[in-house]
Amino acid sequence: MMDETSELGTARCPGPSVQDYLDQDSRPVPPALRFERNDHLGSEDVDTARFTSREWAEREMRQVWRRVWQFACLESEIPEVGDHEVYEIGDDSLIVVRTAPEEIRAFVNVCLHRGRKLRTGGGNVGEFRCSFHGFTWNLDGTMRTPPCAWDFPHVSPEKFALPEARVATWRGFVFINMDPYAESFDSYRGTFDDYYIWPLENRYKSLHIGKVLPCNWKVAQDAFIESFHVIATHPQMLPWLADANSQYDVMADQPNWSRMINIQGAPSPHVADSVTEEDVLETFYDSRAFYSAAQGRDLVRQEGDELPAIPPGGTARQVLAERMRAQLAATSRQDFSNTPDTELLDAINYLLFPNFNPWGGAKSNIIYRFRPNGLDPDSCTAEIIFMSSPKEPGEMPPPAKIRWVPEDMLFADIPELGVLGPVFDQDCENLPYVQQGLKAMRKPGITLANYQESRIRHFNRTLDRWMDK
């Protein structure tokens, strides 16, 4: 499945690959996860100005954010006519509103009279009325007769409609694009749908956490699309996370999406020579496996419980997958008996440019979203969303509201995050020092690994294409 330009295998860690592990899976693995492709995209440094420059941030807002498709909200957050959410990026503000049972539209969130924001938050309304002077628009963006119409003979309601952005929906998510001439969202995704195979539309938003971080949004996002940092940042995971064996899928002809697959329940090649299968099992349980815990698939060993036995010739990974199936059979009405080990255990992360980061998995999923914080190149907003499977098929609890946590609060202090919280804190501890270091750096660019950081190069290559248009 390799392209002629691929150099897969020339810069890979010795030891089993992801596909070698999938060869040993106890169940048939979907073709989408058997796909493997890593096109070599060069080894040049990436300039630092994109992370630190106010001028870059302002141009990025014009060239990228006002022209790309981006995740705004969930359909479930606006189920009834008049329900709406306010989506903001940089200095732009949009009202994403359900205007009819089967129609969602997005309008610029600004009164066309004197410029006041029409809405400061979500809710349900029958019209959009400016609180300053009472100018009012219908849900479809058309203007009603202005107050003191006699004083506005130069204003025609027919020509005073709210400016509109394009809207698309995908598996329960609402995406917007402020460019009226942009390609369709179907075209924009490319082959993404062929390889993201999980039914997010059948899951509900059970948790939504947001926090302002002291770094550029790209610095934050880059930290979560590679596993190279595990050896130094998350050393507690090395006995059960095959970090340097991770698979990175990047394609020159698919600029808008990429993927990585991290094998769990197997040791990192950095420590594999000194770790037994029993060590893998014990450390996995003791760490509670951050990905599985965060997805409601937590395998927890109670105090005093013995570790499950590994059969002769078996592996910790096989035992963990079987235990996961047994736990799910006891707690869920869904049938996971034929679900492959990889969908139960592994961390499978996708990026749809610029910042939609859904994780794959058989039961539940995490979504990451990183955005600029206004036009400040030195800060961003980071969001963690849990998309959970309902306890009863077809039963959809209402979506959780976003909770913004203060700067001095750790992710570890949020119980619902499980052990994802402490791991996220480990990641975030690096980020302000990266931002500071990029400003102090005398070398004009950052240097990336050819394979383990290929998703960062792929992302920045796509970013450059938009910035140069």
For residue range 268-313, what is the model confidence (pLDDT) as tens digits?
999 999 999 999 999 998 775 434 433 444 555 455 567 889 999 9
**What would the pLDDT profile of 307-340 be if each residue is shown by its tens digit?**
889 999 999 999 999 998 988 888 777 889 999 9
Among the listed residues 356, 400, 418, the one whose alpha carbon sits nearest the alpha carbon of residue 203: 400
Residue 66: pLDDT above 70? Answer: yes
Q: What is the pLDDT of residue 359?
A: 96
Q: What percent of the chain has pLDDT over 70?
A: 94
Q: What is the pLDDT of residue 304?
A: 52
Residue type, 176: I
pTM for the model: 0.93
Lowest-pLDDT range of 130-134, 284-288, 462-466: 284-288
Q: What is the pLDDT of residue 295?
A: 43
Angle at 227 between CA 222 and CA 233, to 5 degrees: 90
Pair 179, 167: CB distance under 8 Å: no
First to last CA, the chain: 31
**What span, in angstroms and rounded, lies between the C-alpha atoms of 198 and 195?**
9
Count of CA atoms in the C-beta half-sphere (13 A) of 320: 33
Output 333 or 133, whichever has higher pLDDT: 133
**What would the pLDDT profile of 151-160 be if each residue is shown by its tens digit?**
999 999 888 9
Residue 42 CA to its chain's centroid (Å): 25
Residue 2: pLDDT above 70? Answer: no
Helices (H) and strands (E) in the chain, counts: 14, 19
Q: What is the pLDDT of residue 291?
A: 40
Residue 132: pLDDT above 70? Answer: yes
Q: Could you tell me the pLDDT band of residue 101, with boundaries at 50, 70 and 90?
A: very high
Q: What is the pLDDT of residue 334?
A: 82
Residue 133: pLDDT above 90? Answer: yes
**What would the pLDDT profile of 191-232 be if each residue is shown by its tens digit?**
999 999 999 999 999 999 999 999 999 999 999 999 999 999
**What would the pLDDT profile of 167-193 be if each residue is shown by its tens digit?**
999 999 999 999 999 999 999 999 999
Residue type, 150: W
Q: What is the pLDDT of residue 330?
A: 81
Residue 466: pLDDT above 60? Answer: yes
Indicate the average pLDDT of the chain: 92
Per-residue pLDDT averaged across 11-18, rounded? 89
Per-residue pLDDT averaged across 411-432, rounded? 93
Residue 418: pLDDT above 90? Answer: no
CA dihedral 33, 321, 366, 230 (to 10 degrees): -80
